[in-house]
Amino acid sequence: MRFIIPILVLLVSGCSSPKPKPVALQLHPEPAGVRFPEVLQTYQVGRQVDDSGRLHETHPIHRIEMEARWDLRPGPSPRQSGLMPPPAAYHPAPVDDAIVAELRRQQDYTQRVVEEASQLAQSFQALQPVITNMARVAREHATVGASLRAMEERQATLEQQLQRIASPANP
């Protein structure tokens, strides 16, 4: 019983707390003519117990009072009023002597790179038979080297056999 009385006092005092005062909170400044921002209200809620029996401390609650919306009032369009820049795709590039000179220089570099690439491709095509021939010569050289080593070994064994036959220790 002793514990129930303080809890009841606490619940009764929480129910008798003053009503929360709305505090206007606007996250964005006034619209620039295209879209109105949402309007938020902040309410300070006192200590309370919810339906499931959990105790909540004093805290603010933010509520959206008015959703963001488009400004549909008649008048000049945002592009005409200067609020939105025109899309870049519809504007030609600025023409200046320095820009024209740089574009020509870039075109010359591109043309030179394409010409050099075609020359390299032609040189590669001309070198392809030479590379194939060099590979064939290298294979033949390896074959001749292997057969030369085999003949030298055979010669060495024949010389050893001849020395054994011609030696005086053999009557």
What is the total count of domains within the chain?
Answer: 2
Does 32 map to a domain? no
Does 95 map to a domain? no
**Do 112 and 156 share a domain, yes or no?**
yes
Residue 30 to residue 32: CA distance in whole angstroms:
7
pLDDT level of residue 168 (50, 70, 90 thresholds): confident
- List, for residues 14-59, the tens digit of each pLDDT value: 555 555 555 555 544 454 567 788 888 999 989 988 899 899 899 8
> Given this model, what pLDDT does residue 7 score?
61
Share of the chain above pLDDT 70, in %: 68
Does 79 map to a domain? no
Residue 156 to residue 161: CA distance in whole angstroms:
9
**Do 60 and 109 share a domain, yes or no?**
no
Stated pTM of the model: 0.32
**Do 63 and 118 share a domain, yes or no?**
no
**Do 63 and 117 share a domain, yes or no?**
no
Distance from chain centroid for Cα 162 = 79
**Do 108 and 161 share a domain, yes or no?**
yes
Domain residue limits at 46: 18-25+39-67
> Given this model, what pLDDT does residue 28 score?
46
Does 109 map to a domain? yes
Taking residues 108-122, report their average pLDDT: 96
pLDDT level of residue 71 (50, 70, 90 thresholds): confident
Does 2 map to a domain? no
pLDDT level of residue 166 (50, 70, 90 thresholds): confident
**Do 104 and 158 share a domain, yes or no?**
yes
Q: What are the residues whose beta carbons fall under 8 Å from the beta carbon of 64, sequence distance 6 or more? A: 38, 39, 40
Does 154 map to a domain? yes
Does 50 map to a domain? yes
| Whether residue 136 has pLDDT greater than 50 | yes
Does 72 map to a domain? no
Phi first, then psi, for residue 14 (nearest 5°) are -70, -35
